Structure 1
Amino acid sequence: MKARLTFSVNDLAETRFAVSPMWEVVTSCRVLNAAVVPEPHRGWADQVRPRLAAAGLDRGWLADMIPALGHLPDFLNPAPATASPDLGDELAVIEATDPELVRRDLGHLAAERDGRLSSRLRGLHRAPQTQLPRIVAEIDAYWRLAIAPYWGRIRSVLEADIFHRGRQVAEQGTAQALNDLHHTVRWSAGGLHLVQRHCAITRIETGAGLLLVPSVFAWPRVLTRSVVSETPQLAYPARGIGTLWERRAHERVEALAAVIGRSRALILTELDSPASTTELAQRSGLSAAGVSQHLTALRAAGLTSTHRAGRLVLYARTGLADALLTAQA
């Protein structure tokens, strides 16, 4: 299927970029629901799937609503009000969604499933206002387990992409920036042409402008959101996904160890992927009690962050720690 989104001068003036936590939630769920996880994200999926299964989130609302292919519920991706909203901002909008939009999305899902919806989704159709708070609570739990421990690294990729696109617009113009988003997206004759679409998107059915959202988990596809009278959204694969999960070289480990101690430097290097105290003890060979003491000190210094989901506590390295480990002499 092909689609063409026409642009007026005003539409171009209202075109903007944004980072959206909810787009990463939705697209990452899509990745996890795929029969085969795309190569760039397999290491991440191997880490988060056991956590999600232990919390029962592998069979919850998100697993029910977000298919590996097909329609994505539009109400899960409200237009970001700012260039970089907090997850909480987006969750508040989702909880206040117009019930008719929820029912419309469920109608699309039912059409793709031979008219059948799970009992959970039928309950959502009957009483969206009652069920939406439960969905929001599940999204928050999913975020804490699957995205938040990695968010610093993910956000850096997304922000770097937007910086690149902004510079491209300044140096080469908007048309070139749009042409460079994805091989299925082309600017021509006052319109944005999209091919290989699951569903059509037209200016008649949407509001003004265009919201461009880089995503690490959308790869290798471009995804769209089209709601009557609302700004259309296009989520595209961000640049730099290929190196997102690579284990990074740490040029300054010895120098850092001389300042904060070898054990704490070792813990920071092991936090290339987020981990619990027990996991870090296994990786480093240190005792769990010792790891806990070191993590307390590292957190106080702003070098690690803590992400709690129920009884599970995950630790992640901060951007400051990354800078200390990789800074050139």
Structure 2
Amino acid sequence: MDVAWGLMIRFVLGVEDLVDTRFAVSPLQETVLSLRVLRDPGWYALHLPWRRMVLPRLDGLDLGLLLALVGRRHTLPDFLTPRPTSFAPAFEDEWDVARRAAPEVVRRELTAAYEPDAVPEVLRDAAGGDVGLLGEAVCGVLRRYWQLAIEPFWERMRLVMEADMTYRARQLAVGGARLLFADMHPHLRWRDGVLSVDKVVGEHRVVASGRGLLLIPSVFAHQPAPPVTPDEPPVLAYPSRGVATLWASAPVAESSALDSLLGVAKARILLLLEEPLATSEIARRLDVTPSAVSQQLRVLHDNGLVARARQGRQVLYRRSSLGDQLARRKAPS
């Protein structure tokens, strides 16, 4: 996966490819992309609270080996981010695919990730001089890193990404591909059946030819990240909406007419539901129990202030039009 550099990658998508546009979440990809935050925190200010939380946990881990995977241009070898084969694969399943990558694939993708530089010495040393054998060495450390740095936060991360997918699916249903990509990122442009990804490391054109497009929302991607090499079917990681809320609790709102009407608890929940959220995510942001949130949501739903819809294993809540009218009324000064 890559970040901005100045070239362009184009995905040529036919009607069948648009019909087969799908979403997935990838725990392995998030694990790998998070290494950029540890290496260059200045690029990722939103994730500094996470970085402060996890660094003390990583004592004794060969972090130097993992950080060496991030190229000078913030590129990462594609074999560490295999294309998800289901909507929500388990980390262990994706990790096993990366671990079993063929030596020639590892060599080729490491070379592509570091060009025009050489593969770092620390990576060659870890593989006994043959970078093609690096997969096993890196994946062993990467698995422990997942357990320490990502898995404890995975549930809240997944909820943010699932909320983004719900929003994107609605955009696609309402306005087709043009609306789907319109606000995904300024470096993305959809025109005449071609999805262009600007300011990336690679310069190539991938014709989907019926293979569809896989979209992967990401907490740790700060811009669209297609594969570095053109060999994969069209797949694109993109920055998820809602990341700014991920590591902070919701602020306590000032007293307002809405508080007086609904009560403080219900008012705070209603104000949060500008975007679709699951009960557990609302509870996390408000620092209360899910059962307490469920009680308040039931009242709000029964009175027509919120709507709910199932998304995968989650029930997501969002303000109804009546709820929007109430939430947007300002308290008297």
Fold shared, TM-score > 0.5 on shorter chain: yes
Structure 2: which amino acid aligns with 1:43? P
Q: Which residue of 1 aligns with 2:169?
A: 166
Range with bigger deviation, 204-213 or 191-200: 204-213
The question of 1:34 aligning with 2:37 is answered: no
| Paired letter, 1:83 | F
Pairing 1:1-329 to 2, within 5 Å after superposition: 1-34=7-40, 36-52=42-58, 54-60=59-65, 62-67=66-71, 69-113=73-117, 115=118, 117-121=120-124, 124=127, 126=130, 128-129=132-133, 131-203=134-206, 208-219=211-222, 221-248=223-250, 322-324=289-291, 326-327=293-294, 328=296
Q: Could you list the runs of 5+ residues in structure 2 that have no partner in the other structure?
A: 1-6, 254-279, 300-333
What secondary structure, in the 3-state scheme, does the structure 2 residue paired with 1:168 have? helix
Shift of 1:176: 1.0
CA distance in 1, matches of 2:187, 2:126: 37
TM-score (norm 2): 0.70
**Larger displacement relative to structure 2 (157-166 or 222-231):** 222-231
What is the rounded CA distance, in whole Å, between the counterparts of 1:26 and 1:207 in structure 2? 29
Q: 1:229 to 1:109 in 2, by over 3 A?
A: closer
- After superposition, the C-alpha distances for 1:42-66 in whole angstroms (9 at most, x for unaligned) are 11111111222x1233212x21112
| Distance of 1:145 and 1:8 partners within structure 2 | 42
Contact 2:34–2:220 (8 Å) recurs in 1: yes
Deviation at 1:211, TM superposition (A): 1.3
- Once the two structures are superposed, residues 122-174 of structure 1 have per-residue CA deviations (whole angstroms, 9 ceiling, x without a partner) of 55362635x42332221111111111111111000001111111121112212
User: 1:201/1:246 Cα in 2 relative to 1: closer, same or farther (>3 Å)?
Assistant: farther
Looking at structure 2, the residues matched to 229 and 171 of structure 1 have their Cα atoms a distance apart, in angstroms, of 32
After superposition, the Cα gap between the structure-2 partners of 1:127 and 1:244, relative to the gap in structure 1 and judged at 3 Å, is closer
Report if the CA contact (8 A) 1:206-1:228 is conserved.
no
Aligned Cα RMSD in Å?
Answer: 2.9
Question: Which residue identity is paired with 1:96?
Answer: R
Unaligned runs of 5+ in 1: 252-302, 304-316
SS of the aligned residue for 2:68 comes to helix
Structure 2 contact 112–228 (Cα < 8 Å) conserved: no
Match of 1:286 in 2: none
Alpha-carbon separation, structure 2, partners of 1:123 and 1:206: 39
> Secondary structure of 1:196's partner?
strand
Query: Structure 1 stretch 65-74 or stretch 155-164: which is displaced more?
Result: 65-74
| Equivalent residues, number | 260
Q: Distance in 1 between matches of 2:143 and 2:252?
A: 32
Q: Is the 8 A contact 1:205 1:227 kept in 2?
A: no
Change in CA separation of 1:46 and 1:123 when aligned onto 2, cut-off 3 Å: closer
Structure-1-length-normalised TM-score: 0.71
Aligned-residue identity in percent: 34
With over 3 angstroms needed to count, the CA separation of the structure-2 counterparts of 1:196 and 1:3, relative to structure 1, is: same
**What is the alpha-carbon distance in structure 1 between the residues aligned to residue 290 and residue 186 of structure 2?**
34
Q: Do the aligned residues in 2 keep the contact of 1:178 with 1:185 (CA within 8 Å)? A: yes
Q: CA deviation at 1:323?
A: 1.4
> SS state of the match for residue 84, structure 1?
coil
User: Any idea what the Cα deviations from partners look like across 1:82-131, whole Å, max 9, x if unmatched?
Assistant: 01101011011111112221101221244343x353143355362635x4
